[in-house]
Structure 1
Amino acid sequence: MMDGETASNGITPASTPGPSPALRLNDHPSESVKLEHQLVRVPYEHLKKSMRATTRLVEKEVSAVVAGVAEAVDKEMSKEEAVQHLTSLVSRLQGLKRKLDESNKNEQGQVQRCRARLDHLSILRFGSKEAQLKWNHTRVERILVDYMLRSSYYDTAVKLAESANIQDLADIDIFLDARKVFEALENRDCTEALAWCAENKSKLKKAKSKFEFKLRLQEFIELVRSEKMMEAIMYARKHLAPWGSTNMKELQQAMATLAFKSNTDCASYKILFDVKQWDNLVQQFTQEFYKLYGMTMEPLLNIHLQAGLSALKTPSCYEEGCTKEDPLLQESFRQLAEPLPFSKHVHSKLVCFISKELMNEDNPPLVLPNGYVYSRKAMEEMAKNNQGRITCPRTGHSCNFVELSKAYIS
C-alpha cells in the first residue's frame, strides 16, 4: 500500500499526530540555534545604527563649535561680544552632552537586549530540562509576537510581550518606529518614508536601494496629478535629476506624464497614476525595512509552519477522501504549502484512525470488507467489547472479526 493512498481507508500519515513542539525538548540544540539568526541580528543592527547616528551628531556639533572658536579668534570682537559668542558655543556643547546622555542610555538598553538574547540562547546548550521546556514556550510566544507586529497588531503584540515578560526578546520598538512610515504611506504621504531614507542613507546606498527614488517619483506624479506642472518641473530638477545616471528610463517615462497628464489612456503612463503604486511603496518599504535589520522576509510563524507542512504535503492531501485531521484541509495551510514540494516517503507509515497508534509488525493493519483499514489492537478491543462484532466508525458497516484480512505495508 503506497503512501498517499491511505486517507480514504481510515488511516493517517504517522507524522500528523504528536505533541506540541512547545512541550518537547530540543533534541538538536545546535539546529534550533541556527533558526535564531534574526533574534541576535536585529538588536545588533539597531545598536550599530544608533552608534552611527551618535557619531555623526558628535562630528557635526564639534565641527560647528571648532568653527565658531576659529571665527572668534579671527574676528575682532568686543569683550561682551566674545563672551556672548562663547556662551552660545558652551550652550551648544551642553545640548550635545544632553543628547549624548540620551543616546548612551538608549545604547545601554540595546546592549542589554543583546545580552539578554544571548543568555536566552545559551539555555539550549547549558540549561536544565525544565529550562529548555520553558525556552520552547518562550519561543512560541516570540514567534507569535513577531507575527502580530508584522501584521500590524501592535497593541496585541505589546500586551503579549508584557504578559510573557519577553520585552527584551521582541523587536517592538523597531516596529513601532516603522509604524509611522507604514501609516503615512497608507495615507499617501511620503514625508516619513523620506525621513527614514535620510536616516538610513548609507545602508540603503550600500544595498543599491531604489526606494528613495520611488518615493521621489511618486511625489512628482502627485504634483502632475494635481496639475501643478511648474512645481513638478522644479521638483524633478531638484530631487529626480540626481538619479538620472542610474534610472534614466524610468525618469524619462515619468517626465512624459507632464504631457500625457493623469487622465491619459496610454497604458505606459496610466499605470504611473494608478493608486496601487502606493501599495507597491508599502511593500517595498517592508522589504527594505526587513533587509536593514536582517529580518526574514516571511514571518517566523510562516517559516516554522512551512517546515512542518513540508513533511505532511502529499498528493493525497488534495484528494476528496483526505482525513479530517490533515492540516492541509484548511485553506490557510494550503496557501502556506503551495510553494513547497511534495514530501517523499520511501516507506509507508500508517496510523490507526481509532487508536492513533502506529501500525507495524507488532500491530499490523487489518482490512474490513468495505476496504477501510484499522490496527489489530483496535479491532481486537472492539471485538472484545461487542461479542466479536466489528463496526466501521467511518461508514457504520458491521461484520465479524473473522472476516477481517491482514494488509501488508510496502
Structure 2
Amino acid sequence: MSTSRLVPDQVLLLEQASLKAPLEGLRRVQKQTQKTYDYNLQAASTVQKDLDALIRKVNAVPDVASLDPAARAEMLKTVDGMLSRMRGLKRKLADLELQSEKSLRVVQTRIDHLAALPESMDSPEYAGWARKRLSHHLVDYFHRASPPLKRSAKALAEEEGIVDLVDDELWDEMAKVERGLDEQSLDEILSWVGENRTALKKTKSPLEFTIHLQAYIELCRARDPVKAITYARKHLSPATAAEATPDVGMSEGTLSPMEELSRAMALLAYPPDTTCPAYQELYSPARWSTLRSLFRTTFFTLHSLPSVPLLHISLQAGIASLKTPICVPVPQGVQTAPPSAYPLGGPPLRTTITSDGEIILSGPEGPSPLATGTAPTPVLSGSPAPPIHGLEGRPSRDCPLCSSPLCKLGPEVPYSHHVNSTIVCGITGKVVEGDGGEGGQLVALVSRATGEGHVYSKEGLVLRASQHPEGKIVEPTTGEVFGWEDLKKVFIS
C-alpha cells in the first residue's frame, strides 16, 4: 500500500466535533420550534373562540351600521388583538425557520467538506483540502486563546472561505460567560445554565450547584446572613447536592457537593478575615478561577469539543512520531526507559487519541495511560520495566522537533517507538531509503583526526563533488577533503 494513501477514519478523527456542534444547534432549534407550536396552539384556540364569538355578535345584529360606536370599537379592538397575536406567531416561526435553514446549510457544508477528502496525498485536490483543515484548526486556536483573538479568527475564516466550518456563535457564547466570571458576575453563567439545564442534569454536572454555592459565599462575604439563609433554602439543599454528585468516583482529596455544602453552612459564623484554613479556602478569590475552569470543561463536554486546541492535537500526533530522547531528554531520576527503548521482540504497543486529545499508550495486558501533561515515561502495564538505553548523538538541525518551537510541546507527548532509524541526508534534505548495502545510498565520511564521522547519501556527496574542481568531496561540517575511496558504507541496525 502506498504511504501517501489516506485512511479516512484516522484523518477525520479530529473532525468529528465539527459535525456534532451544528447538529446540536439544529436539535435546539427544532426543540424551540416544537415548544413554540405547542404554546401557540392554545393561543390559536383562544383566537378561534374569540373569532366565533365575534361572528355570532355580528350575525345577531341586523345592520352592522346601526351598532353604536362603543360596540364597534370593541369589535375592532378584538380583531386587532387577534391579528397582533397571529403576526407575533408568524414572526417567531419565521425566525426559527431562518435559524433552521442556517443550521442545515452549515451541516451540509461540513458534510461536503469531509466527503471531499481525497484518497491520497498525491491527489491534486489534497492541498486545497488540507489548507482548509489547517485554517479551521487555526481559527479554533484563535477562539480558545485568552483573551480570544476574535477579529483574527473572523478575518482568517472569511479569507479562506470557511465561515460555515467555524462556530462563531458558539465561541461568542462561551466568551460572554467567561467575561462575566472574570468580572466576578454570575448573571451570564446563570442565564446559560438556565438554557442548558436539561443537558446538565443528564450529565449530572456539578456546575449549577457550584454557581449557587459561590453566590451564597458572596452573600456571606458581604455579611448579609438573612439573604444568605434565604438563598441557601431556595437553591442549596441536600437534594441539589446529591443531584450534582457524579456517578464516577471522585478524585482523591476532592470534596463531594454534600461535603462542600456542609462546610459552607458554617460561613454564617465565620467572617471573611477568618484564620481557619478550611473557611479561608471558601472565601478565596481563587474559587472564581476554579468556577471558570469548570464552566469551560462543561461547555466543551456539552458541545462535544476537545479540551485542547485542534492545532495542538494535530501537532502532538506528529511530534509523537518524531520524538526521541535526543530531541527531548529523559528527565533525571526516571528509572524506566521511554517507549522508544521498549525491547524489540516484545508485544506490540498500541497508541490511541481520545476525543479530549489525550494520547494513551496501551501495554500488552492493559492500558497504561500516558496523557498529555503527565510524566512522559510511565512503567508499561503487563511488561517489566526495561533499562535505560545509552543514547549517543545530539540534536539535529534537520529535525523539526529539535530545531523549532515545537519542542515546547514535546514533553507533553510520549516518545516514538522506532524499530529502525530514519536517516535524513544533511546535504539534500531527503530521507535516505535503505542502507549502504548493494546499490544502497547510505555512506559516512570519517574524520582522520578525531575518528568521528557524519552520515550522508551518495546523491548528496555527488552534488558536493560536482562543485569541487578535482571532483573531491568536501565534508560540509568539518571542511576536510575526502576521495571516493574514503567512503564508508553504513548499515542500519
TM-score, normalised with respect to structure 2: 0.70
| Aligned counterparts of 1:194 and 1:32: Cα–Cα separation in 2 | 38
CA apart distance, 1:197? 0.6
| Aligned counterparts of 1:259 and 1:366: Cα–Cα separation in 2 | 79
User: Which residue matches 1:212?
Assistant: 208
Q: Which of 442, 454, 461 does residue 379 from structure 1 map onto?
A: 461
**Residue 280 and residue 173 in structure 1: after superposition, are their counterparts in 2 closer, same or farther (change >3 A)?**
same
| Aligned counterparts of 2:284 and 2:100: Cα–Cα separation in 1 | 42
CA apart distance, 1:273? 1.8
Report which of the two structures shows the higher radius of gyration computed on alpha carbons: 2
Contact 1:72 1:82 in 2 (8 A): no
Amino acid aligned to 1:38: A
**Residue 87 and residue 131 in structure 1: after superposition, are their counterparts in 2 closer, same or farther (change >3 A)?**
same
| Aligned counterparts of 1:367 and 1:121: Cα–Cα separation in 2 | 49
Q: How many residues align?
A: 385
Q: What is the CA deviation profile of residues 299-352 of structure 1, one whole-angstrom value per residue up to 9, with x for unaligned ones? A: 111111111011011111135821133333478534433232211111122112
* Segment of structure 1 superposing worse, 352-361 or 137-146: 352-361
Q: How does 1:349-360 map to 2 (within 5 A)?
A: 349-359=422-432, 360=435
**Residue 378 and residue 72 in structure 1: after superposition, are their counterparts in 2 closer, same or farther (change >3 A)?**
closer
User: Which residue matches 1:17?
Assistant: none
Q: Which runs of 5+ in 1 are unaligned?
A: 1-23
**Residue 245 and residue 141 in structure 1: after superposition, are their counterparts in 2 closer, same or farther (change >3 A)?**
closer
Secondary structure of the corresponding residue to residue 116 of structure 2: helix
Q: What is the CA deviation profile of residues 87-144 of structure 1, one whole-angstrom value per residue up to 9, with x for unaligned ones? A: 6465344323211211111111111111111112221259994333321111111111
| Aligned counterparts of 1:331 and 1:382: Cα–Cα separation in 2 | 27
**Residue 54 and residue 330 in structure 1: after superposition, are their counterparts in 2 closer, same or farther (change >3 A)?**
farther
Q: Which of 429, 444, 450 does residue 366 from structure 1 map onto?
A: 444
**Residue 33 and residue 275 in structure 1: after superposition, are their counterparts in 2 closer, same or farther (change >3 A)?**
same
Q: What is the CA deviation profile of residues 55-102 of structure 1, one whole-angstrom value per residue up to 9, with x for unaligned ones? A: 2343344446658989999xxxx9788986786465344323211211
Q: Which of 310, 333, 338 does residue 411 from structure 2 map onto?
A: 338
User: Which residue matches 2:110?
Assistant: 117
Amino acid aligned to 2:23: Y
User: Which residue matches 1:96?
Assistant: 89
Q: Which runs of 5+ in 2 are unaligned?
A: 53-69, 244-256, 330-392
Contact 2:396 2:403 in 1 (8 A): no
CA apart distance, 1:255? 1.4
- In the alignment, does 2:240 pair up with 1:243? yes
| Aligned counterparts of 1:258 and 1:344: Cα–Cα separation in 2 | 58
| Aligned counterparts of 1:66 and 1:156: Cα–Cα separation in 2 | 51
Q: Which of 280, 284, 287 does residue 290 from structure 2 map onto?
A: 280
| Aligned counterparts of 1:38 and 1:117: Cα–Cα separation in 2 | 11
User: Which residue matches 1:265?
Assistant: 275
User: Which residue matches 1:36?
Assistant: 15
CA apart distance, 1:30? 4.6
| Aligned counterparts of 2:398 and 2:270: Cα–Cα separation in 1 | 58
Contact 2:328 2:407 in 1 (8 A): no
Secondary structure of the corresponding residue to residue 412 of structure 2: coil
User: Which residue matches 1:6?
Assistant: none
Which has the bigger relative contact order, CA under 8 A and spacing at least 6?
A: 1
**Residue 64 and residue 259 in structure 1: after superposition, are their counterparts in 2 closer, same or farther (change >3 A)?**
farther
User: Which residue matches 1:7?
Assistant: none
CA apart distance, 1:51? 1.8
* Alignment RMSD: 3.3
**Residue 120 and residue 57 in structure 1: after superposition, are their counterparts in 2 closer, same or farther (change >3 A)?**
same
**Residue 270 and residue 332 in structure 1: after superposition, are their counterparts in 2 closer, same or farther (change >3 A)?**
farther
Contact 1:150 1:299 in 2 (8 A): yes
Secondary structure of the corresponding residue to residue 455 of structure 2: strand
Q: Which of 27, 39, 48 does residue 6 from structure 2 map onto?
A: 27
Contact 1:65 1:89 in 2 (8 A): no
**Residue 50 and residue 310 in structure 1: after superposition, are their counterparts in 2 closer, same or farther (change >3 A)?**
same
CA apart distance, 1:162? 0.8
Secondary structure of the corresponding residue to residue 365 of structure 1: strand
Contact 2:445 2:475 in 1 (8 A): no
Q: How does 1:298-309 map to 2 (within 5 A)?
A: 298-309=308-319
Contact 1:184 1:192 in 2 (8 A): yes
